Structure 1
Amino acid sequence: MTTVKKFALLAVLGTLLGTTLAACNTMEGAGQDVQAGGRAIERGADNVQKKM
């Protein structure tokens, strides 16, 4: 395999790895946002229940 082909293969693999890691971070952030929303709803429900 020539040096140019090795470099091209490494570039492609690096790009795929970077994209995969970025997607994981995005999904983790989305999960944290959903979790924070759930906590806010839970606090609101607790407040309503205390007023009853």
Structure 2
Amino acid sequence: MADKGSPLQVYTIPAELPFVDALAAGLTKRAAAGIFELADYTILLPTRRA
């Protein structure tokens, strides 16, 4: 759940990149304040049918 003052953000991973590696690198980069910041993230992934 996002704070009232912070906008929701949507990120995509290009299809040509290894998905898990790109996801881990992006999360690590965005959680610069510390690894525990990751607990505040909500990650939504599409199903294989998407």
Per the normalisation by structure 1, the TM-score is: 0.30
Larger Rg: 1
Higher RCO (CA < 8 A, seq sep 6+): 2
Higher relative helix content: 1
Per the normalisation by structure 2, the TM-score is: 0.31
